[in-house]
Amino acid sequence: MGYPHHPHPRETTVLSKHFGEADARTLGGWKKRGGYKALEKALGMQPADIVNVVKESGLRGRGGAGFPTGLKWSFMKPGDGKPHYLCCNADESEPGTFKDRELMRWTPHALVEGCAIGAYAIGAETAYVSIRGEFSESLHSMEQAVKEAYAAGILGKNAMGSGKRIDVHVHKGAGAYICGEETALMESLEGRRGNPRIKPPFPAVSGVFGMPTTINNVETLVAAAPILLNGADWYKKMSLSNPKSTGTKLFSVCGNVQRPGTYEVVMGFPFKEFLYDLCGGPLHGRKFKAVIPGGASVPIQTMEEAEATLMDYEGFVAGGSMLGSGGVIVIDDAQSMVTVIARIARFFAHESCGQCTQCREGTAWTTKILERIRDGEGTVEDLDTLLDIGEQMTGKTICVLSDSCAVPVVSGIKKFRGEFEALIQGRRFHPVTAAVA
């Protein structure tokens, strides 16, 4: 709902309706707003029926990959005699993304409810919410909400009197972007270094503690409750473009824009109107130059691409990028693209877990070369070297952190090559270096 601003009339607030209301954080306040009715309904249904409703709704993972949620849940085979686990990925660290933070700090009970529904649907008795350690406010809200839910009998060995056991535990991370990668998250939960695992086996077969596991993003789980209450058709109808992208999506907007904040729109909303109308357009006297629409690891869009984009999974791909996490970074004409991209590369170099050579070395080399260009020390060969390294970093590692570093670099050079070249050529005209050359 445009938080921290007033809701914009063109938003559709399903998940963000109660952002900014302190009372919504408490169990009493949440129940007043219709909280836990969806869980009550869910506990009266067969788990397979819940999975079917979610499948039918078209809900797709909101963490970045966009995998169909109902299908993911259906991979968990009931009655296999093993403990099942649900992990909620609340390790939101993708630069530009802060929607899950708002969901947890304003509506923690929505996530507790979503976790309980998800756990019941996949036959799990235990759900772990893995929250990044820096989110002190979200951690506090979630711990309070879990405590309240236990005290009220919503969680525990007889959840809402259903006879089913549902436990939800908050797990505090300790500072590692890579733990947002689902297998690294499980490693962290088990008390290990957050090194991603090789897949297969996939988590549904062997996940946390070696048991069948489903990992869902915060926003995905929170969306499950209104879907159960209002039905799959209601959710499916919220789509302005492609039937493969349904429902509402939270977009967190940051950077050089009038009204940064978290907005909720129906899938397929025109990106141009979103940026200029909902978000208020560029800062006074400036112009937008580029947008990174789905967190730092998706391709950079030119304004021409962005303004023609419809905001859904397919629309962002058609517009030369990806929906990703919905973290929209807006860059204006006062910024150097080289500086922006060099800083993104530095982020990935810092966060590489170091298992794979292409990533460990590639992210560091990329950062060094980009910073050299930024500082006017670049050479003409540097751009080809960067593109070559980028290719070596793509599709060759255990997880996609390596690819994520290459993507903004490669797309940045392709779409804003002139800015790189200007800095490199600037060096050539420097009297001292010109003499050496």
Partner 1 sequence: MTPDLVGGLESPDYASHDRAAHEPYTPVFTGDVKRELDELLTRYPTKMATLLPALWLVQRERGWVSEEGIAEVAGLLDLTPAYVKGVVTFYTMYHQHPVGKYFIQVCTTSPCGICGAEDVVKAFVRHTNTGELGLTSPDGRFTVIEVECLGACGFATPVMINEEFIESMTPDKVPELLARLP
**Residue (241 or 355) nearer to partner 1, CB:** 355
Instruction: Tell me if 60 contacts partner 1 by CB under 8 A.
Output: no
Q: Which stretch binds partner 1 (CB under 8 A): 59-67, 312-320, 350-358, 391-399?
A: 350-358
Measured distance CA(98)–CA(251) in Å, rounded:
9
Instruction: Tell me if 396 contacts partner 1 by CB under 8 A.
Output: no
- Non-local (6+) Cβ contacts of 104 within 8 A are 90, 111, 131, 135, 138, 141, 142, 218
Instruction: Tell me if 156 contacts partner 1 by CB under 8 A.
Output: no
Q: Is 418 helix (H, G, I), strand (E, B) or coil?
A: helix
Out of 66, 196, 261, 293, point to the residue binding partner 1 (CB under 8 A): 261
The pairing of beta strand 84-90 with beta strand 288-292: unpaired
**Residue (23 or 49) nearer to partner 1, CB:** 23
Instruction: Tell me if 278 contacts partner 1 by CB under 8 A.
Output: no
Measured distance CA(244)–CA(68) in Å, rounded:
10
Applying CB under 8 A, the site for partner 1 has a residue count of 62
- Quick one: which of 234, 267, 236, 235 has its CA closest to 249? 267
**Quick one: CA dihedral 264, 266, 268, 273, positive or negative?**
negative
**What is the smallest separation between the CB atom of 401 and partner 1, expressed in angstroms?**
13
Show contacts with partner 1 in window 211-240 (CB under 8 A). Answer: none
**Residue (59 or 329) nearer to partner 1, CB:** 329
**Residue (21 or 277) nearer to partner 1, CB:** 21
Measured distance CA(15)–CA(411) in Å, rounded:
33
**Residue (72 or 346) nearer to partner 1, CB:** 346
Instruction: Tell me if 144 contacts partner 1 by CB under 8 A.
Output: yes
Binding mask 90-119 for partner 1 (x = CB under 8 A): --xxxxxxx--x------------------
Instruction: Tell me if 417 contacts partner 1 by CB under 8 A.
Output: no
Instruction: Tell me if 326 contacts partner 1 by CB under 8 A.
Output: no
**What is the smallest separation between the CB atom of 369 and partner 1, expressed in angstroms?**
17
Residue 67 φ then ψ, to 5°: -75, 140
**What is the smallest separation between the CB atom of 65 and partner 1, expressed in angstroms?**
19
Show contacts with partner 1 in window 165-184 (CB under 8 A). Answer: 167, 169, 171-177
* Edge-to-edge strand list for the sheet holding 288-292: 261-266, 248-255, 327-332, 288-292, 301-302
Distances (CA, A) of 342 to 39, 338, 349, 424: 46, 6, 10, 14
Exposure string over 179-207, b if 16+ CB within 10 A, otherwise e? bbbbbbbbbbbeeeebbbbeeeeebbebb
Binding mask 65-84 for partner 1 (x = CB under 8 A): ------------------x-
For residue 304, the surrounding DSSP H or E stretch is helix 303-307
**Residue (77 or 350) nearer to partner 1, CB:** 350
**Residue (22 or 435) nearer to partner 1, CB:** 22
Out of 119, 224, 253, 389, point to the residue binding partner 1 (CB under 8 A): 253
- Non-local (6+) Cβ contacts of 422 within 8 A are none
Query: Per-residue DSSP letters for 98-146?
Result: -HHHHHHHH-HHHHHHHHHHHHHHTTEEEEEEEE-TT-HHHHHHHHHHH
Residues at the contact surface with partner 1, assessed by CB under 8 A: 4, 20-23, 25, 83, 92-98, 101, 132-137, 140, 144, 167, 169, 171-177, 188-194, 209, 252-256, 260-262, 296, 327, 329, 331-332, 335, 339-340, 343-344, 347, 350-351, 353
